Amino acid sequence: MNKSMRVTSFGNCVQLTFYPGVFPVNCYLVREDDGLTLIDTGLPSSAKAILAAAQRLDMPIQRIALTHAHGDHVGALDTLREALPDAEVMISARDARLLRGDTSIDPAEPQVGVRGSVKPCKTHPTRLLTAGDRIGSLEVISCPGHTPGHVAFFDARDRTLIAGDAFQTKGGVAVAGTVRPLFPFPALATWHRPTALNSAKHLRQLHPSHLAVGHGNILVDPLDAMDAAIQMAERKLKGQM
């Protein structure tokens, strides 16, 4: 076992956490009848450990689904694509532009520059996602804000929400864009805070049983924590904190 990676099993998912004590970066293996859906690919160095984790589960990775195109979520994509040439690769139509290095903003979007690490990938998606699409047991939920095309994945079987960076739990539960001093990095990489807040409210209305995020531990029965994070984000946007 890679000492820089922690494995946590819950429900139909396995959370892989790279560098859990320093800069935790999560990706997820979701079990389906035909194999695994990998959600996010971690850092460039993560590929070998991800493949080994799938091998221990004795299930093939059939699909790679990306919450957004920041470098700590697509870092191992090109390496994994070489190892898994038949796997489907999916990302939102909007963040597919970031995946190829296009950081331009549409006229109808808030005129704020994209933040965070955007490094072009050689891999081209085989499927572009929109809200309501299904990936096996997962429903695609649009939740822009951290990036213009950020999405989450909601497991209809047990109401697990894999939310990418729409929320964080490392350093305290927070909506994307709310700075947590102990772990400020997701906030600093957030594109548009008001949009992120609206998306957080939308995700809360799904009443998830588990909240699984890009940075931090899984929350069980997360609704109270999500409510508190949303209220904090609202106060900060109103300048009350």
pLDDT at position 1: 44
pLDDT at position 4: 82
The residues that bridge with 99 in the sheet, in sequence order, are: none
Q: What is the DSSP string of 160-219?
A: EEE-TTSEE-TTS-EETT---TTS-HHHHT-S-HHHHHHHHHHHHTT--SEEE-SSS--E
> Under a CB-based contact definition with an 8 Å cutoff, are residues 114 and 94 in contact?
no
d(CA 207, CA 122): 37
Q: Count the domains in the chain.
A: 1
Residue in the structure block whose two tokens are 């520059």: 113
SS3 227: helix
Q: Which residues of the chain have pLDDT under 50?
A: 1, 241
d(CA 203, CA 181): 24
Residue in the structure block whose two tokens are 């995946």: 99
Cα torsion at 72, 73, 76, 77 (round to 10°)? -140
User: Which domain CATH number covers 58?
Assistant: 3.60.15.10
Residue 118 tokens, joined = 């955007």
d(CA 80, CA 64): 9
Residues in Cβ contact with 202 at an 8 Å cutoff, skipping those fewer than 6 apart:
141, 143
d(CA 80, CA 111): 34
| Domain span holding position 154 | 5-237
Sign of the CA dihedral 217, 207, 63, 40? negative
Residue 36 tokens, joined = 């695994």
Residue in the structure block whose two tokens are 């296009």: 102
Note the residue count of the chain: 241
